[in-house]
Structure 1
C-alpha cells in the first residue's frame, strides 16, 4: 500500500480529503506544525526533511500551497501535490511555484490561466466537491442539540470579516485614498460576482501613493506586490464585510434570518445570531434544516465556486448564492440551485422561495442539486481525478 505525507493546518475539510485518500487505499501520515512564515520556516523545513528521511512516501500533500514545502520536496526529489481552497493565494506568487516536483490544483479557473501564462506548467484546474457519503451518514442520525437550533427560514453560515486589515491600515492613508478605496469597495459590493472593479481601480497613480504609505514585507523570492496584497487582504475582505452585513439586514426586513458565525453578530438585530457551528458535525444540520441557505462569495474569488456551495448542496440544502462564472459550468439556475445578480433579485428570490405555496418548488431544486452533486461532484471523485493527473 502506498503511503503519503499530509501537512495539516486548521482548514475545514482536511479530514474529508484524507478520507478520500484512504478510500483510494493510501496510508496517510500527518505532519502538524504552525508556520511562522509560509516561505521561510526553518523549523518546518527541518521537520519535513526528517519525516521524508524516516519513511518512503509517494508524495507530500497539503491544502493550499506552501513554498517551504515545495522547496524541501524539490531538494529531496519527491512530488508535492496541493489543492487550493483560497484564491488568489498570495503564497503562490513565489519563485518556488516553478519547481518541477509541484502538482498544483486550483479551484478557480482564472487562477490556473494566470499561472499558466506565467510559465507554470504543473498547475491544474480542479473544482472543490462535497463528501456526500459522510454527510448522508451524519444526517441519518439525530444531532446532539435540538433540531430547533438548526431550523431556519433563511440562514447564513460564515464570517463577517470584522477583523480585516483595511480597518487597521486605513488610518495610515491620506484622506483622498481613503475616500477612493471606500468608493471602490462600495461599487464592488453591489456586483454579486458579475464583475470585479477592484482589478481596474488600482491605477498607477493610486499604486504609487499607496506604496508611499504602506510597506510590504516579503522575501526576495516573492513576486507578489502591493497591488495584489492590498486588493486581497484589505479591499477584498472589507468589501465582503460591507456586503454581508448590508444584505443580511435587508433580508431581515422581510424574512426571519439567522446567522451562525465565529464573528460577533450580536449587534446585527433583527438578524438572529445563533453562535458558531462546528464544520463537520453541526453545520450540515443547518444546511439540511434551513429553507434557504445563503452564500456570498468573497470578491477575491474571480470565477471559482467556494466550498460553502458544495457543502450546502451535498447536504441536500436549498442554496441561494450570488452569481459566479463557474456555476453555469456545472449547474442550471433554478434547477439545481438559485443565483442572484443584484440585491433586488436576492430579496425577491428569498421571499419567493420561503412562501409555503412554493415549498415543493424549493424542495425539488434542492433535491435535484443534491442528486447531481452526489452523482458527479463528490470529494472522492475529485481526489481520484487529482491523483490521476498528479501521478501521470
Structure 2
C-alpha cells in the first residue's frame, strides 16, 4: 500500500530541518578553521636558506611516500635549490652535478650507508632523518653512524644512537603538511561520528575489541590493514574498510568529516612487527597527531609522556588513559559539539605556528649550518 504524500511530509520537513541545522553548524566550523589558516598564511614568511640540498627520499613507496612528498615540498620553498633523488639513483653522480651543501636522507634503509663516507670525504654535510623510531632500531642502529648528523622523531632514542657512536644526534619529530592536511568542506553523506585510519597492530586490536561493543550504535569507520583480526569482525564489517591505504588527501577528508578522530600509537614491544630487540620505549608523537590537528579536526589520543611539549592537554588535545576512559570521553564530547570544535581550532592554530615541516626543517638547518662549527 502506497503512503500518501501528506503522511510523508512531516518526516521530510523534520529531516530537512535537521540537515539544514547540521550543515549550518559544520559550515560555521569550517569557516572559523579557514579563517585561522588564512590569518596564518598572511602572517607567515618562511625563512629562505641560501643552501643547495640534495634530498634522498625513503624510496619505499606508500605509506612513506606522503612523508617524502611533504619534506620535498617544504625544502623547495625554503632553499635556494633542492633536488630530490631516490636511494637507488646514481647518488654520487647527482652530487657531482648539483654540488649540494647538504645531503638529507629520509629513513635511510634502502640507500647503501657506505655512500655517506664518500660524500663526507668531499666536504659535504650529511644528515639522516629517522621516521620510524624506535620500531626498527635494530636496523637503523647500523645505519646511523655513517651520517654526520642524525635526527630522530623519538626522544627516547637519543642515548641509543649516542651509544652507537653518533656524536651529533638531535630530537626532531615529524609534522604536518598544511597544503594537504587542512580544513575542508564536507559532503553531508560523508559525515560520521568517529574514525580511525591505521594498521590493526595487536595493541590496537586489543583496544578496539574492548571499546567497539560499547560503540556499536555509533556511526564509525575503521580503515586499514589487518582489522579482520577483531574478535567480532563480522559484526562490524560494514563499518570497516579492510586492506585500504588511503592517500593523504582522502585521509584529510575523513578527518574533516569526523566529529572525533582517534589516535592510538603502535606498541614499541610488539615482537610480531618490530625490530626493536632492546625494547626502547616510545614516548614521542606520531605524525598523525599533527596531521589531524592541521585539519581542524577534534582528536582523542592515547597518552604519551612527551605530548605536553607540543599541545596543552585538555585545551588543545584530549587524551584517554584506558578503554573505559575512552568510551566515557567519546560520549562526553559527542554531546558537546561547541566545546569539541573550540579545542580543535586551538590545536589547528598551534600546529600551523609550530608543527609544520617548514618549521621542522628550519630547526634542522639551524642546527647544521648555524650551531655547528665549520
The normalised TM-score by structure 1 is 0.68
**Structure label with greater radius of gyration:** 2
1:27 aligns with 2:81: yes
Q: Which moved more, 1:68-77 or 1:379-388?
A: 68-77
Deviations 1:24-54 (A, max 9, x none): 1343322235xxxxxxxxxx4x832333334
Matched ranges for 1:150-189 at <5 A: 151-161=191-201
Structure 1 unaligned blocks of 5 or more: 34-43, 162-238
Deviations 1:289-337 (A, max 9, x none): 2011001101116101001111100111111111001101222222111
Correspondence for 2:156: 110
1:378 aligns with 2:356: yes
1:258 aligns with 2:189: no
- State the distance in 1 between where 2:301 and 2:311 align: 12
Correspondence for 1:71: 114
Correspondence for 2:145: 98
Q: Which moved more, 1:260-269 or 1:319-328?
A: 260-269
CA distance 1:74–1:59, change in 2 (3 Å): same
Correspondence for 2:249: 281
1:388 aligns with 2:366: yes
- State the distance in 1 between where 2:250 and 2:110 align: 34
8 Å contact kept, 2:294–2:348:
yes
- State the distance in 2 between where 1:55 and 1:117 align: 34
CA distance 1:155–1:315, change in 2 (3 Å): same
Superposed displacement of residue 118, structure 1: 4.5
8 Å contact kept, 1:249–1:268:
no
Q: Which moved more, 1:304-313 or 1:263-272?
A: 263-272
- State the distance in 2 between where 1:386 and 1:304 align: 18
Correspondence for 1:58: 101
CA distance 1:270–1:68, change in 2 (3 Å): closer
Superposed displacement of residue 340, structure 1: 1.0
1:4 aligns with 2:45: no
CA distance 1:116–1:337, change in 2 (3 Å): same
Give aligned pairs, total: 294
Correspondence for 2:337: 359
Q: 1:148 aligns with which of 166, 172, 189?
A: 189
- State the distance in 1 between where 2:109 and 2:221 align: 36
8 Å contact kept, 1:79–1:102:
yes
Correspondence for 2:172: 126
Correspondence for 2:45: none
Superposed displacement of residue 2, structure 1: 3.8
8 Å contact kept, 1:64–1:86:
yes
CA distance 1:62–1:76, change in 2 (3 Å): closer
Superposed displacement of residue 80, structure 1: 2.1
CA RMSD of aligned residues (A): 2.5
Q: 1:314 aligns with which of 294, 301, 313?
A: 294
CA distance 1:268–1:75, change in 2 (3 Å): farther
Superposed displacement of residue 76, structure 1: 2.9
8 Å contact kept, 2:180–2:249:
no
Correspondence for 1:335: 315
With CA pairs under 8 Å and 6+ residues apart, which has the higher RCO, 1 or 2?
A: 1
SS at match of 2:296: coil
Correspondence for 2:126: 80
Matched ranges for 1:188-203 at <5 A: none
- State the distance in 1 between where 2:199 and 2:125 align: 34
